[in-house]
Amino acid sequence: MNAPASRPPIAPPLWLLAELTYRCPLHCAFCYNPVDYAQQRAELSTGEWIDVMRQARQLGTAQLGFSGGEPLLRDDLEELIGEGRRLGFYTNLITSGIGLTEPRIARMKERGLDHIQLSFQDSTREMNDFLSSTKTFDLKAKVARLIKRHDYPMVLNVVLHRFNLDHVDRIIDMALEMGVEYLELANTQYYGWGLVNRAQLMPTRKQLLWAEAVVNEYRARIGNRIRILFVVPDYFEERPKACMNGWGSVFFAVAPDGTALPCHAARSLPGIAFPNVTEHRLGEIWYGSGAFNRYRGDAWMKAPCSGCPERHKDFGGCRCQAYALTGDAENADPVCARSPRHGDVQAVVLQAQRMQAQGVQPIVFRSDANSRRLAAVEK
């Protein structure tokens, strides 16, 4: 594992995302976990996670996120939080809320958890429960109250798509009622299960424009009562997002089985051997592995990115999206209007809308059975 000689110095990772488990009680149609997650049952032990956290801290990592699947399904979550805090991380729990009881949140508070991000699927019970294929709306509402009661800043995340974009006003009203401080309205990113259900989830431009106008209206009206982040979907943009702030730049994810990833979706990229934290030290992986060096800097870029004045701003966009849309992760992210494949993105949007009009494709909810079926089809 040797770093290429001609690259600028590599800064340490700022953010460690510990994906503790792929297990989850929900069945969301837009889940970003790998579609074949049911075949990846292995999980690092408590001791192995603590070792990962120690190594990351030694590298200089400051933020630690616990996610999944549903991280609350790990009985050792409180212990990991306590250790993370003791090591000096700013700790963040990313959760559906299912399983967050009064005694558990009290223990987390005691162990020093800094921040909880709770997800809702919609402002209505019907849509929330439909999109997660569970009856969880009331439970989530209870958890939201629990979070407030324990004096956490309330961070609410709602993934947006064509089924709930028209409810954006009601979603903000719900957030106001809950006393939310930060509301993240994140339009669906098409990775994992979101990619499988892309034709179903894709909104229309009209829906997006309306939702964005509503968000701006609320921002003007309610001022700082809630900070609202509205993440526009890539497929409707002319420039790509600076995904992960650049590959191997600030973000280090560790999958449940210990696979080290520069982004949550990287496993979808073929031909890259992602190292495992049970076999290699984190520093070795971050600075020296072929996987983390693969798309660092700009030496790997082809035209039009290689000669583009914006390449240090967007880093060529998203590698996983370039692969999903063009079949080659080294291509420019075709969301960029400068990409010769930009027309493919628009074609995908139009095709999704045609399919919606014909009503032909059912939603494939995340489940073990669907995961095994799709993995078999892939093979």
Residues 222-251 contacting ligand FES, CB under 6 A: 243-244, 247
Name the minimum Å distance from CB 83 to ligand FES.
28
Cβ distance to ligand FES smaller for residue 83 or 234:
234
**Residue 272 β-bridge partners:** none
**Rounded Cα–Cα distance for residues 231 and 222 (Å):** 19
Q: What single-letter amino acid sits at 231?
A: V
What tokens does 241 get? 């997002």
* Positive or negative: CA dihedral 318, 323, 325, 331: positive
How many angstroms separate the Cα of 140 from the Cα of each of 119, 180, 226?
8, 13, 19
In terms of CB distance, is 158 or 320 closer to ligand FES?
A: 320
Using CB under 6 A as the binding rule, whether residue 98 contacts ligand FES is answered as no
Report how far residue 379's alpha carbon sits from residue 375's, in angstroms, rounded to the nearest whole number.
6
**Placement of tokens 């191997």 in the chain:** 248
Give 27 or 241: the residue with its C-beta nearer to ligand FES. Answer: 241
Q: Is 24 annotated as a binding residue?
A: yes
CB of 263 vs ligand FES, minimal distance in Å: 3
Q: Taking CB under 6 A as the rule, which mask of x and - marks residues 45-74 in contact with ligand FES?
A: ------------------------------
To ligand FES, the closest distance from the beta carbon of 366 in angstroms equals 18
In angstroms, give the least distance from the CB of 266 to ligand FES.
5
Alpha carbon distance, N-terminus to C-terminus of the chain: 30
Shortest distance (Å) from residue 331 CB to ligand FES: 13
Of 123 and 189, the one with the shorter C-beta distance to ligand FES is 189
28 marked among binding-site residues: yes
Q: How far is the CB of 16 from ligand FES (least distance, A)?
A: 16
Rg (CA), the chain: 20
Whether the Cβ atoms of residue 203 and residue 165 lie closer than 8 Å to each other: yes
The Cβ of residue 36 has, within 10 Å, a number of other Cβ atoms equal to 18
Write the binding mask 261 to 290 for ligand FES: x where contact by CB under 6 A, - elsewhere.
--x-xx------------------------
Q: Which is nearer to ligand FES, 68 or 248 (CB)?
A: 248
Least distance CB 4 / ligand FES (angstroms): 19
d(CA 315, CA 171): 33
DSSP, collapsed to helix, strand or coil, labels residue 335 as coil
Q: Which two tokens stand for residue 77?
A: 């979550």
Q: How far is the CB of 151 from ligand FES (least distance, A)?
A: 34
Distance CA 378, CA 366 (A): 16
Report helix angle 137-149 to 125-132, nearest 10: 100
* Nearest to 248, CA basis, from 231, 279, 230, 272: 272
Q: Which of residues 326-365 bind ligand FES (CB under 6 A)?
A: none
Q: Give how many residues touch ligand FES by CB under 6 A.
A: 11
Site for ligand FES in 182-201 (CB under 6 A): 191
SS3 204: coil
- Per-residue buried b or exposed e for 126-157, using 16+ beta carbons within 10 Å of the residue's own CB: ebbbbbbbbebbebbbebbebbeeeebebbbb
Closest CB to ligand FES among 175 and 253? 253
Q: Which of residues 312-331 bind ligand FES (CB under 6 A)?
A: 318-321
Closest to ligand FES by CB, 140 vs 264, is 264
Residue 82 or 256: which CB sits closer to ligand FES? 256
Q: Which residues bind ligand FES (CB under 6 A)?
A: 191, 243-244, 247, 263, 265-266, 318-321
User: Which residues sit in the known binding site for [4Fe-4S] cluster?
Assistant: 24, 28, 31
User: Which residues sit in the known binding site?
Assistant: 24, 28, 31
